[in-house]
Amino acid sequence: MVKPQTYRYQNQNMKEIPWCSAVLTAANVIIFLVCQFTGDWLYIKGEFGAFYLIRSQEYYRLVTAMFLHADISHLVNNMILLYFGGEIVEKTIGSVRYLVLFFVSGICGNLLTAIYEVSTGMYFNSIGASGAVFGLIGGLLYLVITRKGYAAQISVRRMILMIALSLYSGFQSVRVNNAAHLGGLLSGFLITFILCHIGKNVGENHYHV
């Protein structure tokens, strides 16, 4: 009689693991380690820039650049936000919507980067998961506002302060793609709004927290 209860307890624990956040974090770490042995090859093949998009039509770079990081501090900063912030979002809206949010906001961040490059004439190559990570932050902001503290008991004021400090830090730093940050943040907020309304219409349990 004990074994079925133990199995159900273990199964419940498995469901509580934010699998998408964990897998995405692990993928970024593994790719970074591979880059340490392959030199610039993966960076050259996967980095993003408006030039690649317009002249070469290499659209895959909108995604591949999200899994490349310049150094260990760049990687660690993004992965902390990806895992712990992503965990809250994933458990609130569900894994499928979480993946949509991550990839679409990351792509939107890179697209805004391309628009910024073309409009200013300042062309550069960029890498990093920051656009997607800021998309998760934008999604979390929407959840905090609509759930009024139920999303990990985070206040709206604290959330806005965290976002403001993150953006300020980016604008005060050199070689930081702030266009990707803003693009990811704004699109993440909007995408989460859309995804939550889709969930509300369907009536899935993930939406009703």
* Catalytic positions, written as ranges: 130, 181
DSSP-derived secondary structure for 115-161: HHHHHHT----B--SHHHHHHHHHHHHHHHHHHTTTTTT--HHHHHH
Distance of CA 104 to the CA centre of its chain: 9
Q: What helix, strand, coil percent values describe the chain, rounded to 5?
A: 75, 0, 20
- Through-space distance between the first and last CA atoms of the chain, rounded to whole angstroms: 32
